[in-house]
Structure 1
Amino acid sequence: MIVLFGSFFLLLGIGVPISFAIGIASLLTVMMSLPFDAAIAVISQKMASGLDSFALLAIPFFILAGNIMNQGGIAIRLIEFAKVLGGRLPGSLAHVNVIANMMFGAISGSAVASAAAVGGTMSPLQKKEGYDPAYSAAVNITSCPTGLLIPPSNTFIVYSLISGGTSIGALFLAGYIPGMLMGLGLMIVAGIIAKKRGYPVAPKPTRSEVMQKTLDALPSLSLIVVIMGGIIGGIFTATEASAIAVVYTLLLAVVFYREVSIKQLPKIILESVVTTSIVLLLIGASMGMSWAMANADIPYLISDALLAVSENPLIILLIINLALLIVGIFMDMTPALLIFTPIFLPIALDLGMDPVHFGIMMTFNLCIGICTPPVGSALFIGCSVGDVKIDKVIKPLLPFYAVLVAALMLVTFIPQISLMLPQLFLGY
């Protein structure tokens, strides 16, 4: 354990890319029990076999669909539709920001893309209406991860693989209520602050405006209906749904909205390939680390240590959540998910926790991490598009952090928040 985690964090500290840090740390750990040539062969084999999965095909397809959506004029249409839904609430533009992030994040599957696209559009509008830029940035930063819980989400595909084949369809359905709970909590905090500061309420839209904005956004939102309807109805798998998503977004962006030209497609595809390569290299390296941890009985050592502290499931879950919150501060979501799922999932299963419920809890927890300094990707993008320095946004973020942690506790200790929809639609 000392060799694995010590070498891993040392390599990260000196600037080694995280995928290579994981691979080298795994190799050093395996070399404690095997000769060098055998250790190299084992780690290489585990990396290759870890990527030999049909389910992983969904990742490049969903990434490509998300990139097409990002270029296809989707954000502005969803923002206009969000104004219809939240425009009459106190501090209406803040609510529009949250709702638009929930919709755009769900379609694109990327918190960073959502923060950039929605925040980049909303920040000038909020500044013009007299909103504090730090408050606006805080709303955008904390609401952009909602799309990682509301499907389709690559995070759930990665968790399914690393957890030993947890149903992707069940994970997708399980993410809806926690994702909406996250968004609702943020809207309550944003509304209270806006009411105190006297931020304006948007004028009531006319019936024709409501109809027009709804019709403009409907084709984009229909993607979620097509994907989830097909998965729930047993028409296609999550992997096949990802390919259908690419075809649908192509038709939408190129033919229907006409925001993407054929000449732009090679660049979009290349960006998707680069992103996919980074993710898959990380997954392959993490598979090697998972085997190294299992070979050294590290999950059992940690499990025994936790049970030595307390046998109360509530206390153990609180400790796991606290550990993940600390991890999320220093590590991005995907590597944290890949490294710590094999450690904490067996403990959760021993406590009688459903793997779908645990996956939602872990994803929700790590969503908070990408909003926190010093390495939160959503924090950096949100501050950049909002033209706010990080030190200025920390204080406005605190009430939003509080409601996110409160919602996390609800998701952790009330399993039906996550399991109700999978049980209802899939008989899970």
Structure 2
Amino acid sequence: MDWQVLIVLFGSFFVLLGIGVPVSFAIGISSLLTILLALPMDAAIAVISQKMATGLDSFALLAIPFFILAGNIMNQGGIAMRLVEFAKILAGRLPGSLAHVNIIANMLFGAISGSAVASGAAIGGTMAPLQKKEGYDPAFSAAVNITSCPTGLLIPPSNAFIVYSLISGGTSVGALFLAGYIPGILMGLGLMLVAAIISKRRGYTITIKPTRSEVFKKTFDAIPSLGLIVVIMGGIVGGIFTATEASAIAVVYTFVLAVLVYKEVSLKQLPKIMLESIVTSSIVLLLIGASMGMSWAMSNADIPYMISDSLLELSDNPYIILLLITIILLIVGIFMDMTPALLIFTPIFLPVVTELGIDPVHFGIVIVFNLAIGICTPPVGSALFIGCSVGGVKITDVLKPLIPFYAILLVTLLLVTYIPQISLFLPELFLG
């Protein structure tokens, strides 16, 4: 019976995805079909409705719409260009300087907005014309942008960590945020290394050395934007406010910055920004609600324990199990977007790794890193599509330039996976 439930749940889910049913509805319908194996129709509908409603009744989830709204305000608020100019100060003298500027700007913008797609669109849209003007291959430029925009999913604030915290049973969001810094920076540095090697071979230009006055001005212009990171993380680590309260503060901060300081957003634009944020939040929260129904269906049928037992029968070596989980997640990430993959596979794999003594915070970084690579890959990678769109290149043209960047991402992923202190150093330092 257990294996029958497993076949019905995942079989119906992938069939529905294959025929073009939206992910949220595919999750909900497959969960309902699974529950019908154990309960009559009226009871099954009541159970899944109740689980969807109670799954969204969480104070922590309020952070998602607030961070989405803050990100959308920043996307319209002239912050991207100021971060690009600041990144030129940091990386302007390196080989292929504009490629490094793209990576650093994505790390900074992603850390502020928490969105890979928003970062790829804003920074990529700004950098693509500049790189083309300097003679950079558009496919190479797009590859740099595509693989660097997901760094913001690891460098906080990140909605992915909030979702993981909820699904994992309350892993500290503050600890996850702190744990993401070093892996995210390591990811960016790896990409910069590859970009430097390729740029030096191709003879890409180095930016003209800025004057002292330019350094001062560009740094001063970027400080208010970068201040958001200090306010959010300083408040969380200092115990002044929670991650959810920090998200509301982020909205107020970005509103003041974009409307009153930079004056790039007018009051007339706010209703449109609000509407876009509501639509995006609704999509994410519907996914979460539907996934709560699936989580209950899986738990009721003991599916996580079945998979856990199956993996542990193969090996009780944590290194082997982590490698197997990594391979599965990389394959899943190719075909599924991050949020549904996170919602579905966290309750399956978390019991396995906790039984082996792996820290839930460390595993949160590992699963998010895995799925972040997935959004850069065909056929459904959102970062891939947005990067090609703003870069003005075809997906087929960018696949070959992406290969060395994929390679360094995999190397970095393995380092983060097998050296837990890369993730746990900062949480242990600040939170004990």
Could you state the TM-score of these two structures normalised by the residue count of structure 1? 0.99
**In structure 1, what residue type is equivalent to 2:214?**
E
Aligned residue number for residue 188 of structure 2: 183
Does residue 431 of structure 2 align to residue 420 of structure 1?
Answer: no
Aligned residue number for residue 368 of structure 2: 363
Aligned counterparts of 2:321 and 2:431: Cα–Cα separation in 1: 30
Aligned residue number for residue 344 of structure 2: 339
Aligned residue number for residue 103 of structure 1: 108
The offset of 1:261, in angstroms, is 0.6
**In structure 2, what residue type is equivalent to 1:299?**
P
Does residue 156 of structure 2 align to residue 151 of structure 1?
Answer: yes
**In structure 2, what residue type is equivalent to 1:361?**
V
**In structure 2, what residue type is equivalent to 1:349?**
T
Aligned counterparts of 2:273 and 2:43: Cα–Cα separation in 1: 41
Does residue 332 of structure 2 align to residue 322 of structure 1?
Answer: no
Aligned residue number for residue 164 of structure 1: 169
Does residue 80 of structure 2 align to residue 75 of structure 1?
Answer: yes
**In structure 2, what residue type is equivalent to 1:8?**
F
* Aligned equivalent of 2:117, options 101, 105, 112: 112
Aligned residue number for residue 373 of structure 1: 378
The offset of 1:313, in angstroms, is 1.2
Give CA-to-partner distance per residue, 1:14-51, whole Å, 9 cap, x none.
Answer: 11110010000001001111111111111111111100
Does residue 52 of structure 2 align to residue 47 of structure 1?
Answer: yes
The offset of 1:203, in angstroms, is 1.0
* Aligned equivalent of 2:90, options 79, 85, 92: 85
The offset of 1:312, in angstroms, is 1.4
Aligned counterparts of 2:166 and 2:314: Cα–Cα separation in 1: 30
Check conservation: 2:316, 2:356, Cα contact below 8 A: no
Aligned residue number for residue 3 of structure 1: 8
Aligned residue number for residue 258 of structure 1: 263
* Aligned equivalent of 2:239, options 221, 234, 237: 234
Give CA-to-partner distance per residue, 1:131-176, whole Å, 9 cap, x none.
Answer: 1111100000000000011001111100000000000000000000
**In structure 2, what residue type is equivalent to 1:255?**
L
Aligned residue number for residue 201 of structure 2: 196
Aligned residue number for residue 269 of structure 1: 274
Aligned counterparts of 1:167 and 1:416: Cα–Cα separation in 2: 17
1:203 counterpart SS class: coil
Runs of 4+ in 1 over 3 A off after TM superposition: none
Does residue 217 of structure 2 align to residue 212 of structure 1?
Answer: yes
**In structure 2, what residue type is equivalent to 1:357?**
H
Aligned residue number for residue 138 of structure 1: 143
The offset of 1:305, in angstroms, is 1.4
The count of corresponding residues between Structure 1 and Structure 2 is: 427
**In structure 2, what residue type is equivalent to 1:343?**
I
Aligned residue number for residue 397 of structure 2: 392
Identity %: 81
Aligned counterparts of 1:305 and 1:244: Cα–Cα separation in 2: 45
Does residue 49 of structure 2 align to residue 66 of structure 1?
Answer: no
The offset of 1:91, in angstroms, is 0.3
**In structure 2, what residue type is equivalent to 1:152?**
P
Q: Which runs of 5+ in 1 are unaligned?
A: none
Indicate the RMSD between aligned Cα atoms, in angstroms: 0.6
Check conservation: 2:112, 2:157, Cα contact below 8 A: yes
Does residue 38 of structure 2 align to residue 37 of structure 1?
Answer: no
1:94 counterpart SS class: helix
Aligned counterparts of 2:245 and 2:11: Cα–Cα separation in 1: 40
1:368 counterpart SS class: helix
The offset of 1:118, in angstroms, is 0.5
Could you state the TM-score of these two structures normalised by the residue count of structure 2? 0.98
1:25 counterpart SS class: helix
Aligned counterparts of 1:351 and 1:7: Cα–Cα separation in 2: 31
* Aligned equivalent of 2:33, options 15, 28, 36: 28
Structural mapping, 1:244-255, within 5 Å: 244-255=249-260
Aligned counterparts of 1:249 and 1:313: Cα–Cα separation in 2: 43
**In structure 1, what residue type is equivalent to 2:388?**
C
Aligned counterparts of 1:351 and 1:48: Cα–Cα separation in 2: 33
Aligned counterparts of 2:90 and 2:152: Cα–Cα separation in 1: 18
The offset of 1:303, in angstroms, is 1.1
The offset of 1:250, in angstroms, is 0.5
Give CA-to-partner distance per residue, 1:104-145, whole Å, 9 cap, x none.
Answer: 111111101111110111111111111111110000000000
